[in-house]
Chains A and B, each alone.
Chain A
Amino acid sequence: EAAVTQSPRSKVAVTGGKVTLSCHQTNNHDYMYWYRQDTGHGLRLIHYSYVADSTEKGDIPDGYKASRPSQENFSLILELASLSQTAVYFCASSDWLGGLSYEQYFGPGTRLTVL
């Protein structure tokens, strides 16, 4: 079964500070994703990546950067954290076979509170 880990599991940040959320997967999946979850909004895609050293914008990329230094690792960076970025952040990964991406496996989530 796919293993996706995230660190930290929770974080309190100050407004205007820099925050880096990390994700690591151990199943050799091509695709990795960052989502945020807010009550009433479901899961919204921030950034995703299909290969190391390349990232793509998702549906709500403003205020976020992403980095994929290796196939296993994918980071989400908030250069200037704002109150509105308080949320739970999930990382996910999926395989890519023959042009069809498969099930997305989610990490445990990071609860970010910006004060």
Chain B
Amino acid sequence: QQQVRQSPQSLTVWEGETAILNCSYEDSTFDYFPWYHQFPGESPALLIAIRPVSNKKEDGRFTIFFNKREKKFSLHIADSQPGDSATYFCAARRGSNAKLTFGKGTKLSVKS
């Protein structure tokens, strides 16, 4: 049972465009939603995270939009740069449980 679904599996955008990566979840008790990125040959690292007390979280060019009613959240990367090319994983965590459930990832390629 996949509790966090991620789409698309791969995405190609041109430099300067906004990349949109999507995730959905099933468990309504999830209350923390981070995005990790992973560059080729490296380990995952936290990019940005949101708690559902708000429906938007911004950090520079990166924005999470959260829709609690539809159980969906998305990562928008504005003004995409070739250096943003990586695999992006969304995840979710339930309350005081330290376990993260990851999506399968979106491989983003930014072409110049």
Q: Interface size of A by Cβ–Cβ distance < 8 Å?
A: 23
Q: In the complex, which of the residues B34, B42, B44, B102 contacts A44, with contact meaning CB atoms closer than 8 Å?
A: B102
Given A42-B89, A99-B96, A100-B96, does the pair A109, B43 have CB atoms closer than 8 Å?
A: yes
Q: Does A94 contact B (CB under 8 A)?
A: yes
User: Which residues of the other chain, A, contact B46 by a CB distance below 8 angstroms?
Assistant: 103-104
Residue from A58, A90, A106 having most chain B Cβ neighbours under 10 A: A106
| A90 and B44 form a contact (CB under 8 A) | yes
Q: Does A101 contact B (CB under 8 A)?
A: yes
| A50 and B98 form a contact (CB under 8 A) | yes
A115: min CB distance to chain B, Å: 23
Q: Complex: how many Å from CA A59 to CA B99? A: 10
Q: Complex: how many Å from CA A101 to CA B44? A: 17
B residues engaging A (CB < 8 A)? Answer: 6, 34, 42-46, 49, 89, 93, 96, 98-105
A residues engaging B (CB < 8 A)? Answer: 31, 40-45, 48, 50, 58-59, 90, 94, 96, 99-101, 103-104, 106-109
25 contacts between A and B (CB under 8 A): A31-B98, A40-B104, A41-B104, A42-B89, A42-B102, A42-B103, A43-B89, A43-B102, A45-B99, A45-B101, A48-B99, A50-B98, A59-B99, A90-B44, A94-B98, A96-B98, A100-B96, A101-B93, A103-B49, A104-B46, A106-B43, A107-B43, A108-B42, A108-B43, A109-B43
